[in-house]
Amino acid sequence: MGATLKDNIAEALIGLLVVIAAAGFVAFAWARTGAGEGSDGVALTARFPNIGGVTLGTDVKVAGVKVGKVTGLELDPTSYQAVLRLSVDSKLKLPIDSSAAITSEGLLGGNYIALTPGAEADMLKDGGEIAETSGAPDLMSLIGSVVNRSGGDAPAASPAPADVPPQ
């Protein structure tokens, strides 16, 4: 008629396992997205003419190694440039003449900010600005210039007839 004590215990254990598995997935997602990371990094800003494909959380890398992320972006109403706020690992000491470029991880990959350390002895401090920047390339313009350069729409020249003697 009713459920036995043994059935109730089995159902409770299965429920407990489901809750533990769900908590594990949440913890994994939290760690994987970096949502739990503190703000122990150095805050830097960089101005770009074009940030196509860059959003909050976009990686910041040096030599292909992730050293930070984009924490803010806004448009400067005076210069019409995109101003990115970056959080970079505080253990990383970047010279003041370092540069930043928006780069792609491949043909179909996402964009990231590539930092190239400079050679100056003075280092960027918290709140500093990276002056030398290079924006995201416009792929449609690049494709268009290649097509135009190769003469994509130009008709092929007709060959001279072979039976006509030269004059």
What letter represents residue 71's amino acid?
T
Spell out the alpha helix ranges (H) of the chain: 5-33, 139-149
- Per the structure, the count of domains in the chain is 2
Residues 6+ apart with CB under 8 A from 8: none
What is the structure's pLDDT at 164? 56
Count of other CB atoms within 10 angstroms of residue 135: 17
- Cα 23 to Cα 98: distance, rounded to the nearest angstrom: 42
Q: Cα Rg for the chain, rounded, in angstroms?
A: 28
Per-residue model confidence as pLDDT tens digits over 39-83: 568 999 999 998 988 999 999 999 999 999 999 999 999 999 999
Per-residue model confidence as pLDDT tens digits over 145-156: 888 877 655 555
pLDDT more than 90, % of the chain:
53
Whether pTM > 0.85 for this model: the answer is: no
Burial of 50 (0-12, 13-18, 19+ CB in 10 A): middle
Q: Which of 77 and 158 is assigned the larger pLDDT?
A: 77
Q: Per the domain annotation, does 165 fall within a domain?
A: no
Are 111 and 55 in contact, with CB atoms under 8 Å apart? Answer: no
pLDDT at 165 over 70: no
Per-residue model confidence as pLDDT tens digits over 7-18: 889 898 999 999
Q: Across the beta sheet with 82-88, what order do the strands follow?
A: 128-130, 42-48, 82-88, 65-75, 59-62, 111-116, 99-104, 132-134
Q: Per the domain annotation, does 143 fall within a domain?
A: no
Q: Per the domain annotation, does 158 fall within a domain?
A: no
Instruction: Based on the fold, state whether residues 59 and 107 are members of the same structural domain.
Output: yes
Q: Per the domain annotation, does 161 fall within a domain?
A: no
What is the structure's pLDDT at 33? 63
What letter represents residue 25's amino acid?
F
Per-residue model confidence as pLDDT tens digits over 82-111: 999 999 998 999 999 999 999 988 777 788
Q: Per the domain annotation, does 1 fall within a domain?
A: no
What is the structure's pLDDT at 120? 93
Please give the residue range of the domain that contains residue 28. Answer: 7-36
Per-residue model confidence as pLDDT tens digits over 120-130: 999 999 999 99
Instruction: Based on the fold, state whether residues 59 and 112 are members of the same structural domain.
Output: yes
